[in-house]
Structure 1
């Protein structure tokens, strides 16, 4: 299956992405605000990338759905501020991205960059700069290695922009850690092959909130499973009411959240929920399944180490339910208006 192969080969692609971005020179002109934008998976990528970029560079960064930039320009673009708009699209032909870039074309306070897996496209032609990952050519409809690699490219871009050698050194370790994670997904079958589990919820905060949203989308696309995502502690404020014995909650834990995550896990378990914790979890953290990640990286730099687990979970669930992950219902590889 294309989807499975593209998930399982993404570590090799990450190595190529590292080489591409490390070799590229970028415009270093300062701007007031960096806006990351995309649609669907690419917008969820934008959320993670914007939060990562701001944390690494110290510069203000926000994520905006591409359609908002032409439907509600004045909500996001102020004449008195300068912007760099980083547009993200696997195909480079996403309708809303092209419309937004053309809508803002010629504005003297806006610089643009395209991040894409196809550098010979209208999006790349319109923008001032391009990160083109042309070796990634997914045949599957759902985005897997393209998501991981475009996010990784933007992490490397942020690290180069900040000129932080320590962060770049950590990011250089990512492909090897992802390769290890891809070999560690069998343990997820205790929930993906359990017919009594009907509802899946992902919890992630900070940059991991973008991953939680993307994890939910992968499961919806491949399996039509009922699933939702929230920021970790926001889950208590109403959504926790749906937890029962048919519910699986996947918590992306971090050093910043670990103090609160154990209590959250216990609250979910008291209601009958099955809890999976993924992160650099301490030994004393308990859940129904704990997937402990490497201590080699800071939480922000291990985003890609988490990605294989939710992609594999969605794939396994699809196979168990008899769906073809390569042919998700009602979807095409490129959405055109």
Structure 2
């Protein structure tokens, strides 16, 4: 029996090109989002009992933390959570906490430290937990991880809870894909009740599947063009996603593509000089009607300028006049921007994957020289001075 294609490729072709794991992990995201939702639902009462006293306390603080892709989970969610929870919510990478802990940790403010880790073995992850324990009078830890044997999942502190995601989300590939999307969904589901966020996992998963199934022709065309510069832009929550998209492209092409991210409004203030006639600009378009005006203004301006090789809009409310340069996301035209995170990131992941292949890079291990690694290496941790 012939295996079904994954992202448009037969499995033997993917395996021969060192791309099978990355393709599988991108393609599995709709199913893994459903599995993650079901898992969190079984833990709803336990999660509520653990996080409720902190997220309902206006004097408390929630810090979403991780390194690299894991840090960008927090950057995507923090602006929304800060509006919806009584507690103050910030996204602070572990890499910032570890190097300047007294700048980011308030000893007197009750803290819920939400730590993300695919493997849970990054040295900064445990160091951030230990620093919070030593510096903050009352700290609670919610660990969101994909690896049951990782150090973060077994963190030796009293006031902690681990949210362990389905086994398949522990991505084998170098780049985080389904681990990113599922840790992000699990955190939203854990901290915001379904009655508030709408419980729309079916619509999110369906839209993500639609992108995976229908966007390949456009993304193939873009990848084969092998643009040497790529800009990702997004407003509000989508700016954090733009940052993750640039990292994914840089990782999977082994640094062959120069990347830049910003908000559409911020891009005019200097970063626009990054654009050349070999630059691809991709804009994650907001569903908020006020925000979307600014997104469209910048898109239309760039097209009038004629400086970029191509300007692509990824949108749940596509414009007929721009159809040829639009990746349309169906079924979420009335959704809040937070629901767009998953189908939008799937498009960015697939483009990075295809661009990697177009350049002859092996996506599952794009840096065989080992200068960068799946779990970061070479970090020297230092004791905090008294």
Q: Do both proteins adopt the same fold according to a TM-score greater than 0.5, normalized to the shorter chain? A: yes
Q: Normalising to structure 2: TM-score of the pair?
A: 0.82
In the TM superposition, residue 67 of structure 1 has moved relative to its aligned partner by: 2.6
Aligned to 2:224: 193
* Contact 1:178–1:304 under 8 Å retained in 2: yes
Contact 1:56-1:158 within 8 A present in 2 as well: no
Alignment gaps of 5+ in structure 2: 1-19, 380-386
Of residues 212-221 and 300-309 in structure 1, the stretch that sits farther from structure 2 once superposed is 300-309
- Runs of 4+ in structure 1 deviating by more than 6 angstroms, as ranges, are none
SS in 2 for 1:108: coil
Structure 1: 5+ residue runs without aligned partners?
none
Residue of structure 2 in register with 1:155 after alignment: 188
Task: Please tell me whether residue 266 in structure 1 is matched to residue 290 in structure 2.
Answer: no
Q: Distance in 1 between matches of 2:148 and 2:117?
A: 10
User: Are 1:281 and 2:317 counterparts?
Assistant: yes
Shift of 1:285: 6.3
Matched, 1:117 2:108: no
Q: Among 189, 197, 203, which residue is 1:173 paired with?
A: 203
User: Which of 10, 29, 45 is matched with 2:29 structurally?
Assistant: 10
Q: Distance in 2 between matches of 1:319 and 1:188?
A: 12
Q: How does 1:126-275 map to 2 (within 5 A)?
A: 126=155, 128-135=160-167, 136-160=169-193, 164-186=194-216, 187-195=218-226, 197-223=227-253, 224=255, 225-254=257-286, 255=288, 256-269=290-303, 270-273=305-308, 274-275=310-311
**Shift in Å at residue 280 of structure 1?**
1.9
Q: What TM-score, normalized to structure 1?
A: 0.93
Matched, 1:323 2:361: yes
Over 3 Å counting, the alpha-carbon distance change for 1:326 and 1:277 in structure 2 is same
CA distance in 2, matches of 1:297, 1:36: 24
Larger Rg: 2
Cα shift readout 1:109-145 (whole Å, capped 9, x = no counterpart): 2111111001333212225011101422321111111
2:63 aligned counterpart, secondary structure:
strand
Which residue is equivalent to 2:127?
99
Aligned residue pairs, count: 333
